[in-house]
Structure 1
Amino acid sequence: MSAVPVAGAAPERVGMYRWRICAMLLAATTINYIDRQVLGVLAPFLQDEIGWSEIEYGYIVTAFQAAYAIGLLCTGAIIDRFGTRVGYALAISVWSLAAMSHSLAATVVGFMLARFVLGLGEAGNFPAAIKTVAEWFPRRERALATGIFNSGSNIGAIVAPLLVPLIAVSLGWQAAFLFTGALSAAWLVTWLLMYRAPEQHPRLSQAELAHIRSDPPEPTVRVPWAHILRHRQAWTFIAAKFITDPIWWFFLFWLPKFLHSEHGLSLLGLGLPLVAIFVLADVGSIMGGWLAGRFIRMGWSVNRARKSAMLVCALCVVPIVFAAQADNLWVAVALIGLATAGHQGWAANVFTLTSDMFPRHAVASVVGIGGFAGAIGGMMIATFTGFLLHTTGSYLPVFLMAGSAYLIALLVVHLLAPRLEPARLEDKAAT
């Protein structure tokens, strides 16, 4: 059957099974973020229950970040080796068991071990999901499919503070870890029953398979990391991720503790403020990408449009310096929400820098390297924040760092890539 006529046919004749696969990726990403946030939501109360210090909590968070960084370097090769079906199943098996193992932890070391294994497993989600999209969607649909499954990160950040406190208050904190781990296990069973490669799937029509394979063959040239790292454009992205990703990790793991200690919120009381903060983050993610596109449609160069949008997003984070001293809860929530919106808008543009400066066949490698750098930065700030809070008891220095990080990162980006000129990899692409 010819692919071209089918690709041009009406959507209802092509079939929609690929979107069921996309829904599975959305569910996995949502569960991924719920699992990783359970500890952050429960942290203020586990600190009293287990008796850990601020420094020890920093070590617990650092253990997750270290494993996540290692996982980002390793899981892609594992998924390529065993295939998407088995590779994704291995990743979620690890993080499901790790999530439930938190319920057995009774010491700082126990939580560190559970978080480390969780980080290893959860690092496989995005490489596996992106590879699945490449297998199941033609190029013209991949951005939409990726946007859909990636929205699970914000959905998970919103669901966790609503769901986890209810379970913990009703059944105990151990039940919260068991329940979210069970969600992962349920997804795993569904995945193994439902997923096959498109060519092997019994429920996929020939018309939809032809639609999925309607693109010309994609280049498979591999660019070694050593060659990528010779280019300033790569270090532009790496620096941006290293400087600003830690701020997002701080938001995920320390905001519940901040709201509890500074504003006296109970476990159930955390839900609405955290939901408001992460809904604003979702809005910022959309608006940050829209703003750069709007500037380009106005006739601005990509360089000017991208950096102007990044500047607006960076300025949105600056007012967070006042959140540490805000007496009113909702003033603090508004300032933090504006900052999370700024981060997500910033992140949308930073990820786009890779496609601005690198050919498509190198983008995934650049993103992987940058993700590793961001996780390393997150690991460092987790340990530093623990020591800082233990020593000073104040969140002001951390918020000062957050408020200045994005402007510093934008300056570094501009110095390393003043015109966002493309990297020239062609000569070494096959080495």
Structure 2
Amino acid sequence: MSELNVETKVNAAMLTVQEKTGFRWKVAIMMWGAIAINYFDRTNLSAAAPMIMKEFDFTATEMGFIMSAFFFSYTLCQIPSGWLADKFGQKTLLGGSVASWSCATMLMAAGQGLISFIAIRILLGIGEAGAYPCNAGIVSKWFPDRERARATVIFDSGNKCGTAFAMPIIVWMMITFGWKVPFIVSGALGIVWVLIWLKYYTDPEKSQYANQAEIEYIRDGQAVKDGLDNKMPLKWYQLLRYRNIRAMCIGFFMSNYAIYFYITWFPTYLVQSRGMSLMKMGFVAMIPPLVGLIVGFITAFLADYLYSKGYSKTKVRKNNLVCGMLLASSIVFVNFIQSDVAAVALLTLSYCGIACAGPALWTLPGDVAPKNMTSTVGALQNCVSNVGGILGPIITGWIVTTTGSFEMAMVVTAGATLIGAINYAFYLGEVKRIEV
């Protein structure tokens, strides 16, 4: 009788595992949607830049200031957004963020000059500041440790999809209806997302769409269970005492400096340096993020596989970060290539390096943050990293205006990624939870 009872319990446990829901992956898809729309909205300006510069007679330096205005407010609002997300919950903050940046996106169609464009981009940055910190916190609540790289690459892939698929659509709408229409359409898309988010998302224990078996599966697989209360053991600035936090900030700064070349100046580079038409540029600009999307998924699945096989988090994360940043530094060799096809291939290779590092960059906050501070840690590293977003477009614009070419800008970008690789290899220590 005792053996029968044991067998019955085992069968019941197996049945429970088999019947657990998979709502956490639907949460990942909703996070992906937020980031895809986020980057769709950012890509609007980089695609429309040649037409806006012509209509308003902006110089490359002035356009650089417009592009960078976003990053001033985006950077300053990172830490408040992360703290608010950890304190009051990611549902409210992320929903409010998407709603506010969608309204700001639609306002771009009303821009009338340098000052108005800068002001609207500042509003856009305030709204978008909450996206990534919220998603980092959601992953720490909704996914066991062994699935976090995959969950991260799903939502982070939204930036590649938003950049890649948006470009030809935006260019088509600009050519057909004018440069203002893409801003209105993408802003309206964000409002639709907000309605879906508010209807379906809650934390795991409150969700009516995840059953108890799934919640237990998630929580049993977490070394530290975030979100069960709102107690944070540190002030946000005290996080900078820790070497790993500083290393994360430095490395992400270097990565962002490089990635925002693609987000802001890459379309203009293809038009001005490679002589492409707007329509051809729209399709060619899809190539790096699309290939990077595939590479990001492969490296994320490999990272989770290696971790499940017993490799340490330190080895798994550093493998992605160091190799990725080294590969990204290959961008400098585009200066020696005459063929447009070969140049795009090399730039795609460099982008793939950034895509390889991406999942690890946004998995690290959940790996090292003190309890209930994942969004805050994510916001802190994103705050520092986006100083690279502020400097990158301005420096690139200044270099192009001064030298008349992109060659020196490529050298500076390659140097940034090389420093990032060295930082992750030697300054980042053991990847583990900070115990306060």
Contact 2:255 2:416 in 1 (8 A): yes
| Structure 1 counterpart of 2:70, from 64, 67, 70 | 64
User: 3-state SS of the aligned residue for 2:15?
Assistant: coil
Note the 1:127-166 alignment, pairs <5 A: 127-137=133-143, 141-166=147-172
**Of the candidates 123, 127, 132, which is equivalent to residue 129 of structure 2?**
123
The Cα of 1:341 is off from its aligned counterpart by 0.7
Report the TM-score when normalising by structure 1: 0.84
Matches for 1:29-178 after TM superposition, within 5 Å: 29-137=35-143, 141-178=147-184
Matches within 5 A, 1:17-416: 17-137=23-143, 141-196=147-202, 218=225, 222-286=233-297, 288-289=299-300, 310-324=321-335, 326-351=337-362, 364-416=375-427
Displacement of 1:121 in angstroms is: 0.9
The percentage of counterpart residues that share the same residue type is: 28
Instruction: Report if aligned partners of 1:288, 1:313 keep a CA contact under 8 Å in 2.
Output: no
Inter-CA distance 132–351: structure 2 relative to 1 (3 Å threshold): closer
Contact kept? 1:47, 1:53, Cα under 8 Å: yes
Of 379-388 and 206-215, deviating more is 206-215
2:283 partner SS:
helix
> Which amino acid counterpart does residue 194 of structure 2 have in structure 1?
L
Shift of 1:82: 4.5
Higher mean alpha-carbon deviation, 135-144 vs 105-114, is at 135-144
RMSD of equivalent CA atoms? 3.5
CA distance in 1, matches of 2:329, 2:146: 37
Unpaired runs of at least 5, structure 1: none
Mark the CA change 1:293 to 1:136 in structure 2 (over 3 Å): closer, same or farther.
closer
Contact 1:6 1:210 in 2 (8 A): no
How far off is 1:208 after superposition? 5.3
The amino acid across from 2:259 in the alignment is W
Instruction: Note if contact 1:318-1:404 (Cα within 8 Å) is conserved in structure 2.
Output: yes
| Conserved? CA contact 2:82–2:375, under 8 Å | no
Mapped partners of 1:68, 1:60: distance in 2: 13
Task: Write the distance in 1 (CA, Å) between the matches of 2:11 and 2:117.
Answer: 56
Aligned-pair distance for 1:184? 0.4
Amino acid at match of 1:218: K
1:366-409 CA-to-partner distances (Å, cap 9, x unmatched) read 43222111101221222222222111121001101122222223
Letter in 2 for 1:89: G
8 Å CA contact retained: 1:284, 1:340 = no
Answer yes or no: is the 8 Å Cα contact 1:136–1:198 preserved in 2.
yes
Taking the aligned partners of 1:130 and 1:7, their CA distance within structure 2 comes to 31
- Secondary structure (helix, strand or coil) at the match of 1:263 reads coil
Q: Deviations over 1:207-236 (max 9, x none)?
A: 656666667883655233343322333222
Secondary structure of the 1:14 match is coil
Task: Determine the C-alpha separation between the residues in 2 that align with 1:343 and 1:260.
Answer: 23
Spell out, residue by residue over 1:61-120, the C-alpha distance to the aligned partner (whole angstroms, 9 max, x if none): 211111111221111233345433332221111111001001001212111111111111
Counterparts of 1:6 and 1:177, CA distance in 2:
53
- For 1:200 and 1:352, the matched residues in 2 are separated by 24
Greater shift in the superposed pair: 405-414 or 381-390? 405-414
Q: Which moved more, 1:101-110 or 1:310-319?
A: 310-319
Count of matched residue positions in the alignment of Structure 1 and Structure 2? 422
Shifted more, 197-206 versus 68-77: the winner is 197-206
Partner Cα separation in structure 2 for residue 159 and residue 187 of structure 1: 18
Contact map agreement 2:153 2:300 (CA 8 A) in 1: no
Name the SS for the 1:394 alignment partner.
coil
**Greater mean deviation of Cα atoms: 301-310 or 53-62:** 301-310
More displaced 10-residue stretch of structure 1: 64-73 or 325-334: 325-334
Out of 352-361 and 159-168, give the one that drifted further. Answer: 352-361
Q: Tell me: CA distance 1:87–1:8, structure 2 relative to 1, closer, same or farther (3 Å).
A: farther
Q: Say if 1:136 and 1:305 are closer, same or farther in 2 by CA, change over 3 A.
A: closer
1:32 CA drift (Å):
1.2
Contact 2:102 2:188 in 1 (8 A): yes
* Contact 1:277 1:337 (C-alpha < 8 Å) held by counterparts: yes
| Cα distance between partner residues in 2 of 1:364 and 1:80 | 6
**Aligned-partner Cα distance in 1 for 2:188–2:25:** 24
Counterpart Cα distance in 2 of 1:244 and 1:314: 7
Compared with structure 1, are the counterparts of its residues 107 and 165 closer, same or farther at alpha carbon in structure 2 (3 Å cutoff)? same
How far, CA to CA, are the matches of 2:354 and 2:24 in structure 1?
Answer: 31
Decide which moves more: 113-122 or 149-158.
Answer: 149-158
Cα 1:362–1:389 change in 2 (3 A) is: same
Unaligned stretches of 5+ in structure 2?
1-9
Cα contact 1:42–1:267 (8 A) shared by 2? no
Letter of the structure 2 residue corresponding to residue 256 of structure 1: P
Contact 1:7 1:214 in 2 (8 A): no
Superposition deviation, residue 180 in structure 1: 0.5
Could you give the per-residue CA deviations for residues 9-33 of structure 1, whole angstroms, max 9, x where no partner exists?
3566333444433332222221111
Contact 2:137/2:366 (<8 A) preserved? no
Mean CA deviation greater in 404-413 or 165-174: 404-413
Aligned counterpart, 2:6:
none
Of 13, 35, 47, which aligns to 2:19?
A: 13
- Checking the alignment, whether the CA contact within 8 Å between 1:92 and 1:184 is kept in structure 2 is yes
Task: State how far apart, in whole Å, the 2-side matches of 1:302 and 1:24 are.
Answer: 27
